[in-house]
């Protein structure tokens, strides 16, 4: 049985990829559900969704790495992967990470995501960075 990386390499080498296969962004990243206003000492939540465009999917077989970093917040986890997807059977990938709020003021959560977006012909590795502001009130 071929491993995913061998299969992906074989597909990449044997399939002609055209612009229609991968438009500029056949997906979007959303942070719907993230706590952006919270009182100091109260727990918040960082939420991330990787939503593919019609005809695409986020690969559940390929490696996925999401590194989280925060300025002023205490993250429950700083590294996420396939095992952390909370909607295993959905069309998109969703992650939720709790955070503590030890200090008031303007804080943030930064995410560096590496994942594969696929259509019926091929999968392509994507790297995205985003940052969400969180206002912690005294």
Domain 4-137 has CATH 2.60.40.10: yes
pLDDT at 48 (0 to 100)? 98
Q: How far is residue 56 from each of residues 5, 26, 42, measured CA to CA in Å?
A: 19, 7, 38
Residues composing the chain: 138
The three-state DSSP-derived secondary structure of 20-45 is CCCCCCCEEEECCCCCCEEECCCCEE
- pTM, rounded to two decimals: 0.82
Report residue 3's pLDDT band, with 50, 70 and 90 as the boundaries.
very low
pLDDT digits (tens, 9 = 90+) for 17-39: 444 555 678 999 999 999 999 99
84: Cβ–Cβ under 8 A, 6 or more apart, which residues?
66, 77, 95
pLDDT digits (tens, 9 = 90+) for 53-91: 999 999 999 999 999 999 899 999 999 999 999 988 877
Question: How many angstroms separate the CA atoms of 93 and 55, rounded?
Answer: 15
């Amino acid at each position: 049985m071929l491993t995913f990386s061998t299969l992906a390499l074989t597909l990449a080498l044997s399939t002609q990829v055209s612009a229609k296969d991968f438009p500029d962004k056949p997906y979007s990243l959303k942070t719907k559900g993230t706590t952006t206003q919270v009182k100091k000492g109260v727990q918040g939540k960082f939420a991330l969704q990787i939503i593919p465009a019609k005809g695409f999917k986020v690969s559940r077989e390929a490696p996925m790495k999401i590194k989280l970093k925060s300025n002023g917040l205490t993250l429950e986890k700083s590294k996420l992967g396939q095992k952390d997807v909370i909607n295993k059977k959905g069309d998109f990938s969703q992650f939720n990470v709790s955070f503590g709020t030890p200090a008031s003021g303007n804080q943030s959560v930064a995410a560096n995501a590496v994942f594969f977006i696929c259509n019926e012909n091929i999968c392509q590795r994507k790297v995205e960075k985003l940052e969400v502001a969180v206002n912690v009130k005294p």
